[in-house]
Structure 1
């Protein structure tokens, strides 16, 4: 720019000097002097035109860039959309990988997935998935007796009039209570959910929502209410699960009336150890095998109007035996000494003797009645009883 100004200045000075020399002689048209003087004017006109052209070009150039950017972005988006269309969905997986994924879900998540579409409903409500959920949470407290009672209730309910409407409404209620909100089951779809009434999922939801009272056994019945006489015992009861507290409500039958106990925790419940009803004598099949040192459970009840409960004890040496293992004959004698060490030695409940060969219900109205015996071979069962051991000796 500086060079341009210097050249223009020099040109003006030269032209001015020439004009002064020939001021009395004006230049002729098309003469050399005329052309020389006219050339700066043409130069500036051409320069201004070029600037306009350049401005127009550079003004248009950004718009070209924008068009190229838009075209590039559109192509990239199209590629991404094409790649997205080529991706596999969850339903495209084979059965084994899909089941492996669904097994990781919680029961609540399985119920949510079952409401996505009909294909996932079939997968998420399958018995083998819910059987694992049952074993995981309810395996320790639900036994064969509870399963049989659930089936018998279904059979009884199926014989009632208006069974389909009643049962489908109950199953919808199960889902609503379990999901915590209104389910989207339509009346037209009620038959589809009715087919699941005899499924493992329906059984699980009935337990989880507290709609099914199931048979089980409760350790240390009513001890929390001050009944310490039931320490180290296990009684049959009908239980209902309370999901808000994660505890149970137990209903015991005695003398023709029911007694309720609330706030029972999971570690105080087990599935029935035998299929013998609580009012019947258990047929013992271990009397020929038990010997001193064995852990046992024996039926006991206060009187004949009460149901039997299972009480923990151990087999001890007879009073005539000195306890020497080399000279001990207790394992072959007819008499078997049972000891309940939670009671003091002076207590009448401390020891009792039964017969191997002619064992039946023995006892009286004062000391109570003893029934059948089962030998404890499982270390976990023995450890469970020891966990419930009282802090002090009972009288």
Structure 2
């Protein structure tokens, strides 16, 4: 009790520095050896020289120091600063650390940091459906487990490996498939295909310039890129080597074949940035296309005289196309907008107004080097 009191009285600054030291040692692969395998004192031997047969009596070894002897706050600080790889390795030490290291609040931070930009509500729904439809508690074959690093490269085990300090006769404790850790490991392994959207699909094919399409994505940790599966109606259904900057989580919960309900039509005015659904034919899914609200034909663009926002029709300009191109402009009815178009020019669907500066900035970053005919 006296020693524990001294530990707690050291203050938060000490525990912050101490946790940094332990984390650095752990990341270098020396942490487990130094804290869990080396006793505080070497056992002493007592030898009776007067006996014909020397009798050696080893004194009882003093108990080795344990990470669990640290105050709760210090231990929590250490675990919070570990990487996903560190948490997985630490969880293999004992059952107590295993339960702590797969806690949702620890993995939620890692999930948000790495996957927050591409994982949306649709991906979470897909994950819940994936869990509910799974007939087995383990989604991966335990026979293929080859330690943490091997599983990180190829597949992540859902049935957790046995802690080093537990008896081999005890059964392995399975990782709950509905935990945040399970979701993170499934994404990292590429075994879970999740819904997201891809900018400029088919490696920037001219026919998809400044568009964003729904796809099923799978991650490849070796290359830090993604593979996408598009609708089977498209010319190319699979695309490889997609980088992070070309992905986003779906901004609205509207399936690719469903007309989005526009709630911004009455507010649109020249200069507003928007995304509009467009599809080549009725059988194709919608993609989201970037456009800017323009002025009516008879308007000179002067702000003092412009009455375009009070007109029943709205002019949408796709400025990535040359003036005079049939794709350069379209007109929709503000009062009664539904899907409009034909088999020659495609069909325009719902509209969403872009209000966030980062969304507009992203489209500008994707702007082509030259205007498309």
Which bracket does the TM-score occupy, shorter chain normalised? Answer: 0.7 to 0.9
TM-score (normalizing by structure 1): 0.72
Matches of 1:153 and 1:247, distance apart in 2: 23
Equivalent residue of 1:193, what SS?
Answer: coil
Q: 2:95 aligns with which of 101, 118, 129?
A: 118
The verdict on how the C-alpha distance between 1:207 and 1:362 changes in structure 2, with shifts beyond 3 A counting, is: same
Kindly provide the CA deviation profile for residues 29-63 of structure 1, in whole angstroms up to 9, marking residues without a partner as x: xxxxxxxxxxxxxxxxxxxxxxxxxxxxxxxxxxx
What is the count of residue pairs matched by the alignment?
305
2:337 pairs with 1:355? no
Identify the residue that residue 181 of structure 2 maps to in structure 1: 201
Q: Deviations over 1:264-312 (max 9, x none)?
A: 0010011111110000100011111121111100000111111000000
CA displacement at 1:111 relative to structure 2: 0.4
SS at match of 2:331: strand
Match for residue 373 of structure 1?
351
Aligned residue for 2:230, secondary structure, equals strand
Structure 1: where are the runs of 5+ without partners? 1-76, 79-84
Larger radius of gyration: 1
Alignment of 1:260-271 (within 5 A): 260-271=238-249
Q: Following TM superposition, by how much is the alpha carbon of 1:98 offset from its aligned partner in structure 2, in angstroms?
A: 2.3
Q: Distance in 2 between matches of 1:124 and 1:386?
A: 42
Secondary structure (helix, strand or coil) at the match of 2:309 reads coil
Partner of 1:132: 109
In the alignment, the residues of structure 2 paired with residue 288 and residue 165 of structure 1 have an alpha-carbon distance, to the nearest angstrom, of: 51
Give the conservation status (yes or no) of the 8 Å contact 2:277–2:288.
Answer: yes
**Unmatched 5+ stretches in structure 2:** 1-40, 43-61, 163-167
RMSD (Å) for aligned C-alpha atoms: 2.7
Q: Within 2, Cα distance between the matches of 1:292 and 1:173? A: 59
Q: In the TM superposition, what is the alpha-carbon distance from 1:349 to its structure 2 partner?
A: 0.6
Distance in 2, matches of 1:119 and 1:205, equals 21
Please give the per-residue CA displacement for 1:305-332, whole angstroms capped at 9, x wherever unaligned.
Answer: 1100000011111112121112211112
Residues 287 and 133 (structure 1 numbering): CA distance in 2 closer, same or farther, change over 3 Å?
same
Distance 1:205 1:308, change over 3 A: same
| Structure 1 position 92, deviation (Å) | 2.7
Deviation, 1:96, is: 3.6
Provide the C-alpha distance between the structure 2 equivalents of 1:258 and 1:152, rounded to a whole number of angstroms. Answer: 27
Runs of 4+ in 1 over 3 A off after TM superposition: 85-89, 93-97, 164-176, 179-190
> Residues 1-395 of structure 1 correspond to what in structure 2 (within 5 A)?
89-157=66-134, 160=135, 163-164=136-137, 169=142, 177-178=151-152, 184-185=161-162, 189-190=171-172, 192-194=173-175, 196-224=176-204, 227-255=205-233, 259-395=237-373
**Deviation of the 1:119 alpha carbon:** 1.1
Q: Distance in 2 between matches of 1:371 and 1:174?
A: 50
1:187 and 1:357, CA in 2 relative to 1: closer, same or farther beyond 3 A? farther
The answer (yes or no) to whether the contact 1:223–1:230 under 8 Å persists in 2 is no
